[in-house]
Amino acid sequence: MAESRTPDQVVARAARATDLADLDAAVSGCFACPRLVRWREEVARVRRAAFRDQEYWGRPVPGFGPGDARIAILGLAPAAHGGNRTGRIFTGDRSGDVLFAALYRAGLANQPTSVAADDGLALRDTRIFSAVRCAPPDNKPTPEERDTCAPWLHREVTLIRPTLRVVVALGAFAWAAWWPVLRQVYEQRPPSPRPAFGHGAHWSGAAVPDLLGCYHVSQQNTFTGRLTPGMLDDVFGRAKQLAEVD
């Protein structure tokens, strides 16, 4: 499989992806951001003590979920010892524990836990992906890294566009990453000024998916009570309603 090592190669390879399986394979072979490549590989080599006997994925993390999803969940980036370890987004960390428990309560996942890529988890009417596909140092991608990675997001939305009705943005970074999708995928000018992010924020436009804001499922939010299970239930309940998912 050809690797993408420059921003131009990312653009070209993303555009050639014929389906989600092809796109996922292409994402996994991306080396276009040197800082992120160094970090993800260092984390995979050094490893956290609790996981020292495990082989880390250590590559970009593709999306997860069915290709006919009506709901998309857009995150920031994989966790260093979560998706970067397991190879599946939001899998193997406490943020994922919170997210998948909420999806299970909403009837959008077949089980409430996500510990490994082969644990049997399946999603219904929902696909999850991130704006940046590599784990970044301090969970903070640079603007250049965000922009280099954007073609993967744009192509993924293009491939699920026929069924996609609602996007749930986890955090302000994901909320901001959605606006360029309107221009690149839907050929529509983003609203100006941009609607402010907030938990429960809702934006809708003509012939594009509805956008819902949700505080990120990070420990910083869930451990402090800023984001509660009930708040997540409200967001996913609203997403199901807008997407007309039973």
Q: What percent of the chain has pLDDT over 90?
A: 99
- Say if residue 2's pLDDT is above 90: no
What ranges in 106-164 are assigned the alpha helix state H? 143-160
Determine the straight-line distance between the first and last CA of the chain, rounded to whole angstroms.
Answer: 39
Q: What average pLDDT does this structure show over 64-93?
A: 98
DSSP output for 11-66: HHHHHH--SHHHHHHHHHTB---HHHHHHHHHHHHH--GGGTTSPP--S----BS-
Strand partners, 74: 129, 169
Which residue's entry shows tokens 């309940």?
A: 237
Distance CA 108, CA 101 (A): 10
Distance CA 26, CA 17 (A): 8
Average pLDDT, the chain: 97
- Say if residue 1's pLDDT is above 70: no
φ, ψ (nearest 5 deg) of residue 112 = -90, 0
- Say if residue 165's pLDDT is above 60: yes
| Under 8 Å between Cβ of 90 and 112 | no
To the nearest 10 degrees (0 to 180), the angle between helices 172-184 and 143-160 is 60
pLDDT attached to residue 163: 98
pLDDT attached to residue 25: 97
pTM surpassing 0.85? Answer: yes
Q: What average pLDDT does this structure show over 123-136?
A: 98
| Structure letter (DSSP) for residue 226 | S
pLDDT attached to residue 221: 97
Say if strands 166-170 and 71-75 run parallel, antiparallel, or are unpaired.
Answer: parallel
